[in-house]
Amino acid sequence: MRRTITAVAGIAIAGLALAGCASGDSGKGSASGGSGDNSQVEIFTWWASGSEKVGLDALVKVFNEQYPDVKFVNASVAGGAGSNAKNALASRLKANNPPDSFQAHAGAELTDYIEANKLEDLSSFYKDNGLTDAFPSTLVDRLTVDGKIYSVPSNIHRANVVWVNTAVLKKAGLDATKAPADMDAWIADMKKLKAAGVATPLSVATDWTQVQLFENVLLADLGADGYSGLWDGTTKFDDAKVTTAIDHYSQLLALANTDGTGQDWPVATDMVIDGTAAYNVMGDWALAEFDGKGKTYGTDFTTWPTPGTEGTFDFLADSFTLPVGAPHPEAAKDWLKTISSAEGQKAFNLAKGSIPARTDANKADYPAYQQGAMDSFSKDTIVSSLAHGAAVKVSWLTDVTSAIGKYVSDKDGKALQDALVQAQTKGLGK
C-alpha cells in the first residue's frame, strides 16, 4: 500500500513570532513551567511509522533502561521531514501547550524557534553534562545563537545521496559501482535505462522530496561555494548556473514518475528497493528502509554522492529542545541526556542510517555505508540542506516549496527562477 501524506500548506513556524507572549512565553532563558512531576516525558517527533519509528524505538529502549521511572509518551506526527509535524507543533506552541521536548533541525529552522522565544538556553546543561566538546564545532555552531546553545543533536544525516538498484542498472549494461561524473552523464545513463525498458529511471515522492532533488541539482551545478552563497545572498538566484540547474531538473523530472506528489518518501525509496525504479535521491534515513526490507548494501543496492556533488556533504542534523513552559523539564533533561549519551547515539544511529553526532563514536561499531559517511563528514566540504531546515528559515523554505510545486505541474522554468529570486529577496529581508 502506498503511504499518503497531507500536502504541506505553508508551514507556520514563522508565524510563531506573531503568536504573542502569553504565560510561559516570557522570553529566552526563562524557567520552564514544570509542575514538579517528572514521572513522564512527552516527546514530539515525526518518526511515527516504518523505519523511522524503528529508529525512535531504539532510542526509547535506551531511555527506558537509563530512566526506568520516567514514562515515555510518544507525541509523533506522521509525515516525512516534518511535513505535517511542524504545523502541528506550531499550533501547540502558539497555544502555550508545548511537549516536553521536540525534534528540530540544527541551523536556520532552530533560529525560527529561538527568535520566537520558544526555547530554553541549554548552555548550562551542556556544561553540567560535559557535552561542550562532545560534538563537532561545525554542528555546535548550528545549534548556537548569540553564544547560547539551544538543542541537543541526536544524529547527522546526509541529503546528497543517490540510492541505486544494481540489478536494474545491469539491464542497461551500466556498472552501478561507478558514479556518473556529473548531471549530464547521469541523465545520459537514465536515458539508456529508459531505452532498455526501465519505465522509471528516477523515483520522486511528495513536495519536500522534489525540493530535496532540486537542492541536489543546485549543489551539483553551482558547487559548494556557489550553493552556500544562495543562502547568504553572495550567489543570486538569477545566476546563469541556476538556469542550468532548472534545465537539468526539468530533464530529471521527465525521467521520473509523475505520481509522487502526496506520497511520503518511503514510496519513492521502495521503488528502488523493489526494482520499479533505478535511482532515488534521498537522505540516508533511506538506509533503514533498505535494511528493513532485507536488502544488502553493495549487493542489492549501492549509493553515491549525487553526481556532481562528490567531495561535498549536504548536511542536516536532528536535535531535541527544551521548550519554554515544558510541563516536565527535569524528565525532558533525562531524555536529552539519553540522546547525547554514547549508548543512546549508538543505538539510534545504527537503526536510523545516520551517523552519530558525538565525535568519540567508534567507527568500527557501524556498517559499511555509515563508515563511508563518517569519512566523508570528516573530510568533505559541509553545506547545509535546504529541504531539511539547515540552510534557510522556514518561511523561505515554504516559498521555495510552493515555487517547486508549481513548477512540477506547469514546467515554467522562467517563472520558477523569478519565484526563487523573490524568495531569496524576502528571505534575506531585502
Q: What stretch of H or E contains 148?
A: strand 148-149
Please select the residue that binds ligand GAL; options are 42, 121, 215, 318, rule is CB under 6 A: 318
Instruction: Indicate the angle between helix axes 342-352 and 50-66, nearest 10 degrees.
Output: 160
**Nearer of residues 168 and 218 to ligand GAL, judged by Cβ:** 218
Q: Is 388 in the site for ligand GAL (CB under 6 A)?
A: yes
- Taking CA atoms, 21 is separated from 94, 96, 146, 253, 255, in Å, by 9, 9, 21, 45, 49
Q: Note the Cα 338 to chain centre separation in Å.
A: 21
Q: How many residues bind ligand GAL (CB under 6 A)?
A: 14
Please select the residue that binds ligand GAL; options are 25, 42, 52, 380, rule is CB under 6 A: 52
CB–CB of 4/262 below 8 Å? yes
**Nearer of residues 47 and 313 to ligand GAL, judged by Cβ:** 47
Q: Is 109 in the site for ligand GAL (CB under 6 A)?
A: no
Q: Which residues pair with 41 in a beta bridge?
A: 72
- Cβ at position 384, least distance to ligand GAL in Å: 12
**Nearer of residues 84 and 117 to ligand GAL, judged by Cβ:** 84
- Cβ at position 37, least distance to ligand GAL in Å: 30
**Nearer of residues 24 and 82 to ligand GAL, judged by Cβ:** 82
**Nearer of residues 54 and 145 to ligand GAL, judged by Cβ:** 54
**Nearer of residues 157 and 328 to ligand GAL, judged by Cβ:** 157
CB atoms within 10 A of CB 123: 16
What would the grid cell of residue 354 be? 545516520
**Nearer of residues 61 and 192 to ligand GAL, judged by Cβ:** 61
- Cβ at position 47, least distance to ligand GAL in Å: 6
What do you get for the CA distance between the two ends of the chain, in Å?
Answer: 46
| Continuous H helices in 118-182 | 123-128, 137-143, 166-171
Please select the residue that binds ligand GAL; options are 157, 333, 337, 358, rule is CB under 6 A: 157
Q: Is 80 in the site for ligand GAL (CB under 6 A)?
A: yes
For cell 513570532, what's the residue?
17
Question: Which span (29-37, 78-86, 111-119, 167-175) binds ligand GAL, by CB under 6 A?
Answer: 78-86
- Cβ at position 38, least distance to ligand GAL in Å: 27
Q: Is 316 in the site for ligand GAL (CB under 6 A)?
A: yes
- Cβ at position 263, least distance to ligand GAL in Å: 13
- Cβ at position 388, least distance to ligand GAL in Å: 4
Phi/psi for 55 (5° steps) reads -65, -50
- Cβ at position 265, least distance to ligand GAL in Å: 6
For cell 536494474, what's the residue?
168
Q: Is 81 in the site for ligand GAL (CB under 6 A)?
A: yes
Please calculate the CA angle 412-393-336 and round it to the nearest 5 degrees.
135
DSSP 198-264: -SEEEE--SHHHHHHHHHHHHHHHHHHHHHHHHHHTSS-TTSHHHHHHHHHHHHHHHTB-S--TTB-
- Cβ at position 335, least distance to ligand GAL in Å: 16
Residues 277-306 that bind ligand GAL (CB under 6 A): 283, 285
**Residue 430 exposed, middle or buried by CB count within 10 Å (0-12, 13-18, 19+):** exposed
For ligand GAL, the binding residues (CB under 6 A) are 46-47, 52, 80-82, 105, 157, 265, 283, 285, 316, 318, 388
